[in-house]
Amino acid sequence: MSLIDLYSDTKTVPTEAMRAAMAAAKVGDEQMDEDPTTRALCERVAMELGFEAAVFMPSGTMCNLVATLVHTRPGDELIADAQSHICTTEGAGAAAIAGVAINPVFTRDGIFTADECRAAIRAPSRTAPRSSMVSIEQTTNFSGGAVWPLDALRGVRDASLDAGLRTHMDGARLFNACVATGLTPKTYAEGWDSAWVDFSKGLGCPFGAVLCGDRDFIGEAWTWKYRLGGAMRQSGILAAAALYALDHHVARLAVDHANAALFIELLGETPYFVFDKTSPTTNVILFKLQGLPVDTATFTGRALERGVRLRALADGRMRATTHLGVTRDEMLTAVRILNDLAREFAANAA
């Protein structure tokens, strides 16, 4: 029995066609701007997101860290949602390396308003940390893949810019938002100081992310990338995978969204699952158990034994993520396994 891995959309593996594109890539020394495929990728992503320039990074985590290093000084404060990746999942890199504190905004689905943003921005004073950067996630990962509506996004952008803050968009899943709503990456990223997209999530590449900004920003980002050990050599092998993904794996994100909607609908046939629903549904699903005498760790452990891998979050919720490594039929199988398991726990309790 093969594993149906809904743990994360990082579980995708490169397809044969992607591997062929990688093998055929023209390469050079990236550190000296001599890798033609990496240059083509950076130009393409900068154009699609509407920025002057871009830099290829090994990971999204490094995009967030480097943007923080460029946008802030030690002792500054960064405003971000309390559940955001930069807050919860990056080893406190902002603090450890950039010397920056995070001022968390507490939200239901990772989306905050211009007023909440203004309330988080500190008035300049001798004693307060300097608020110098705001970071948002499009889509929101641990808040259930919610899509920031354009007006909320622009409200936060403008409130931040008015107060002199730099604005950063963690677009790990920006293309998921675009496919869900039909808006372009450029529309979402318009007016932001920096934004990036991840290729190692639903786009199915082995690794890599592209960080965008104006020429000055990218110049400084390059210095930090080099310092942090992120400069590469024949990175065209990876950039070729990313270019392949832009051509072949963006539109198909709609399949992942449909699979996620199907999962929510069919698991709803038993009364044992409650969903944190966001609208529109993208590829991240948050849910919890109800009315069963079992905790999520035990439930996810048993699901894994039967071939379905979910992610148990620390707060008792579970996360399922759809991606190109999981077909519609496999989603149907996963639903059947999870519903059966829940029914068995319920029967044992009775």
Ligand X SMILES: *Cc1c(COP(=O)(O)O)cnc(C)c1O
In angstroms, the CA 344 to CA 287 distance is: 19
- Using the rule CB under 6 A, which residue among 27, 35, 51, 85 binds ligand X? 85
The full 3-state SS of the chain, as one line of letters, equals CCCEECCCHHHCCCCHHHHHHHHCCCCCCHHHCCCHHHHHHHHHHHHHHCCCEEEEECCHHHHHHHHHHHHCCCCEEEEEECCCHHHHCCCCHHHHCCCCEEEEECCCCCCCCHHHHHHHCCCCCCCCCEEEEEEEECCECCCCCECCCHHHHHHHHHHHHHCCCEEEEEECCHHHHHHHHCCCHHHHHCCCCEEEEECCCCCCCCCCEEEEECHHHHHHHHHHHHHCCCCCCCCHHHHHHHHHHHHHCCCCHHHHHHHHHHHHHHHCCCCCEEECCCCCCCCEEEEEECCCCCCHHHHHHHHHHCCEECEECCCCCEEEECCCCCCHHHHHHHHHHHHHHHHHHHHHHC
Residue 61 near ligand X by CB under 6 A = yes
Nearer to ligand X, 175 or 299 (CB): 175
Q: Least distance from C-beta 228 to ligand X, angstroms? A: 13
Give the total of residues touching ligand X (CB under 6 A). 13
Give the largest CA-CA distance in the chain: 68
Q: Which stretch binds ligand X (CB under 6 A): 114-122, 196-204, 321-329, 342-350?
A: 196-204
Residue 172 near ligand X by CB under 6 A = yes
Nearer to ligand X, 170 or 193 (CB): 170
Nearer to ligand X, 171 or 236 (CB): 171
Residue 141 near ligand X by CB under 6 A = yes
Residue 59 near ligand X by CB under 6 A = yes
Residue 5 near ligand X by CB under 6 A = no
- Using the rule CB under 6 A, which residue among 198, 273, 318, 338 binds ligand X? 198
Structure tokens of 139? 């889509």
Nearer to ligand X, 208 or 236 (CB): 208
Using CB positions, name the residue nearest to ligand X: 60
Q: Which stretch binds ligand X (CB under 6 A): 12-20, 69-77, 193-201, 311-319?
A: 193-201
- Using the rule CB under 6 A, which residue among 5, 35, 109, 170 binds ligand X? 170
Q: Which stretch binds ligand X (CB under 6 A): 176-184, 197-205, 245-253, 340-348?
A: 197-205
Among 23, 291, 313, which Cα is nearest to 144's?
313
Residue 200 near ligand X by CB under 6 A = yes
Residue 60 near ligand X by CB under 6 A = yes
Q: Least distance from C-beta 143 to ligand X, angstroms? A: 10
Residue 77 near ligand X by CB under 6 A = no
Residue 151: CA atoms inside 13 Å, Cβ hemisphere, count? 1
Nearer to ligand X, 131 or 200 (CB): 200
Residue 296 near ligand X by CB under 6 A = no
Q: What are phi and psi of 81, to 5 degrees?
A: -60, 145
Residue 209 near ligand X by CB under 6 A = yes
Nearer to ligand X, 82 or 346 (CB): 82
Nearer to ligand X, 225 or 273 (CB): 225
Residue 137 near ligand X by CB under 6 A = yes
The residues of the shown chain that bind ligand X, judged by CB under 6 A, are 59-61, 64, 85, 137, 141, 170, 172, 198, 200-201, 209
